[in-house]
Chain A
Amino acid sequence: MSSTAPTTAADEFAHRATPMQKVQSSLHRYPWLSPLVVLALLLVIFGVLGLVLGVGDLENLFKPGTISLMLQQTVIIGTLAIAQTLVILTAGIDLSIGAIMVFAQMFMANLAVYTTASNVTFMAGQNPVLAVFIGLIVATLAGGLNGFLIVRFNLPPFIVTLGTLSIFTALTLILFKARTIQGKEMPDFMLLMSTKLEIGPLTFTLGLIVMLLLYVLFAYILRGTAWGTHVYAVGDDPAAAELSGINVKRVLFSVYVVAGVVIGIAAWITIGRTAAASPNVAPEINLETITAVVIGGTSLFGGRGRLLGTLLGTFIIIVLDFGLSLAGLDQAYRVLAIGVLVIAAVAVDQWIRKVKV
């Protein structure tokens, strides 16, 4: 065979990367880079507007009290977004995350508190520790149901979770009759996640710390264990993963079960955060988790993304939320900004996928 002279010339040409290509390949290697840049830009813009130009109450954004509140506010979206990241990494989507979380927290509260309004009074009045534990199991089983339907009957995750979204929303109303249980009715253990901890000038809650620990734990699981590698491989190319000897169905099923566990923990954290168990706690939560994941640089086509990006995506949503309202703008602008960011994030993802190194 002839020598490789033309290939070398082509190689040389390929290595003359333009600045744009360098940006592209960096984003390709580090998917969390784009949310980091967006978050930094947001903080700079809000900083200039608030501290230099004195727009609205924006200067308050940088006070320890506001920062503490913003961090505490991330717990619901942030924790659920871990579950959503796992599912989206397998090229799936989970529309039922919010509904399962609400179902699980209502389950926990109705076990721990005796209310005449529910249809499950016969099992009320449990030990709160047992109530939380059973709630966790319920959420895990609900995740397992999603996984079972997707794997066993080869149904698209979008359709399955759209169905379970309705099912669990309805079950919440049927079993617990839409009655909000207030925090003051509940035993202390139910509200454990709202315990305040002073760290320097900031005030953390136990829920926030648990969320951050979950990020560390799942970042490790995704990058440091065989299961994590298999999640990426299955999301990237299920056929190739199967031929490599990976049991694709088992991996997929386990992802939905694990997502269920995380949703269960999020339910307990939510009771602490909102000091109540309410069926209308977070009506937008599903779209917000998907938004956090997508803004965070995880590809909706699967196999690409980092958990760190999701955490940054959650921060972006919360900072936008606080910043725009402190600037005196209507809630609608925040929704508008999120919409623009989501489309931009998906466009950037498509561009990154075409990378040539």
Chain B
Amino acid sequence: MTTTSTTQPIVQAKDLNKSFGRVIGLADCNFELYPGEVIAVVGDNGAGKSTLIKCLSGALTPDSGEMHIDGEEVFFKSTNDSRAKGVETVYQTLAVAPVLDISENLYLGREIRKKGILGTVFRSLDKKRMRKEAMQSLNDLGVLTVQSITQSVETLSGGQRQAVAVARAGAFGSKVVILDEPTAALGVNESARVLKLIRDLRDRGMSIILISHNMPQVFDVADRIHVQRLGRRAAVVTPQSHQMNDVVSIMTGAMTVPEDQQQLTPVR
């Protein structure tokens, strides 16, 4: 099953260690994400999922180990550093500003100014262009069920807000999108819409890391499943090679998978 591939991982972590006092978050943890795939990160509470993801998004700095984006070694000190390298994170807490409208939220922190003296001297925002492009990126993702792009985000449902957050992450030439429990706060229909959004992002060539506790959703959308256990990678499997209960067994340590039965290279 293991095929040798020359594809370079877009995100690679080698022997990451991170401890909080005497609590070990990551112990020589490895991780690879290949271009254009969805990798799900699953694991029991305390397995180091969040710590791994926070290291990759710059929210935490690992004690030791290497991280590479597109083959280039990176040292993230803040989430802005990772964003500058094309790694966007969508947080569980729906990090949008409710009173601002959809287009203002999409462009929050990277507003476009008008050309010429209006933009350089008077710092005038090009609202027309931002609205047009915001509309375009929501259309591209097929999430435009909103009445208007100038609707404030607080008037949207949880699923629509999450769609805005995901669209925001995917809209700015980012290469990697990290989604932390994107459906945790959503209903069934809304979750389905967000999963579709994830597939659409992948089909547009983006690489996605999905952290989720929801096994059916993981098996629905993931190309590969990274199982985290006791601060390290226990196995990488695919929805085809293993069943949901196998994955749970790996998570809890009841089952181990020999390396030659794992899927350490991309399937796509």
Contacts and interface: CB of A to CB of B under 8 A. Distances in A.
Does B bind A? yes
Question: Which residue among B93, B98, B99, B189 has the maximum number of chain A CB atoms within 10 Å of its CB?
Answer: B99
A239 B100 contact: no
A237 interface: yes
Given A236-B100, A303-B99, A356 B155 contact: yes
A241 interface: yes
B98 A245 contact: no
Contact of A303 (B89, B97, B124, B151): B97
A226 B111 contact: yes
Contacts of B113: 226
B83 interface: yes
A244 interface: yes
Contact of B100 (A225, A227, A229, A243): A229
B97 A1 contact: no
Nearest to B98: A236
Interface stretch (B24-32, B102-110, B231-239): B102-110
Interface string A2-31: 101001000000000000000000000000
B97 A224 contact: no
A232 B123 contact: no
Interface string A133-168: 000000000000000000000000000000000000
B188 A1 contact: yes
Contacts of B96: 237, 240, 244
Given A356-B155, A357-B151, A226 B123 contact: yes
B262 to A, nearest CB: 31
A243 B111 contact: no
A233 interface: yes
Contact of A236 (B97, B110, B188): B97
B125 interface: yes
Given A1-B189, A226-B123, A241 B98 contact: no
Contacts of A356: 155
Contacts of B80: 245
A239 B93 contact: yes
Contact of B189 (A7, A230, A236, A304): A7
B97 A244 contact: yes
B99 A225 contact: no
Question: Which residue among B83, B97, B113 has the maximum number of chain A CB atoms within 10 Å of its CB?
Answer: B97
B244 interface: no
B95 interface: yes
Main secondary structure on B side of the interface with A: loop
Interface string A165-189: 0000000000000000000000000
A202 interface: no
B152 to A, nearest CB: 8
A227 B104 CA distance: 12
A246 B109 contact: yes
Could you say which interface size class chain B belongs to?
Answer: 20 to 34
A355 interface: yes
Contacts of A243: 79, 89, 91, 95
B257 interface: no
Interface string B33-47: 000000000000000
Contacts of B109: 230, 244-246
Nearest to A25: B155
B192 A1 contact: yes
A245 B83 contact: yes
Contacts of A4: 189
B71 to A, nearest CB: 25
Question: Which residue among A224, A229, A241 has the maximum number of chain B CB atoms within 10 Å of its CB?
Answer: A229
A157 B110 CA distance: 28
Contacts of A226: 111, 113, 123, 125
B125 A244 contact: no
Contacts of B127: 224
Contacts of B125: 224-226, 229
Contact of A240 (B79, B95, B122, B192): B95
Contacts of B105: 244
Given A226-B111, A357-B151, A357-B155, A236 B104 contact: no
Contacts of A236: 97-100
A132 B80 CA distance: 41
A236 B97 CA distance: 6
A247 B104 CA distance: 16
16 contacts: A224-B124, A224-B127, A225-B123, A229-B125, A230-B108, A233-B97, A233-B100, A233-B108, A236-B98, A237-B97, A240-B93, A240-B97, A244-B96, A244-B105, A246-B108, A355-B154
Given A1-B188, A229-B125, 8 more contacts: A225-B125, A229-B111, A230-B108, A233-B100, A236-B100, A237-B96, A240-B93, A245-B108
Interface of A: 1-2, 4, 7, 224-227, 229-230, 232-233, 236-237, 239-241, 243-246, 303-304, 355-357
Q: What 5 pairs between A and B have smallest CB-CB spacing?
A: A245-B109, A1-B192, A357-B155, A243-B95, A226-B111
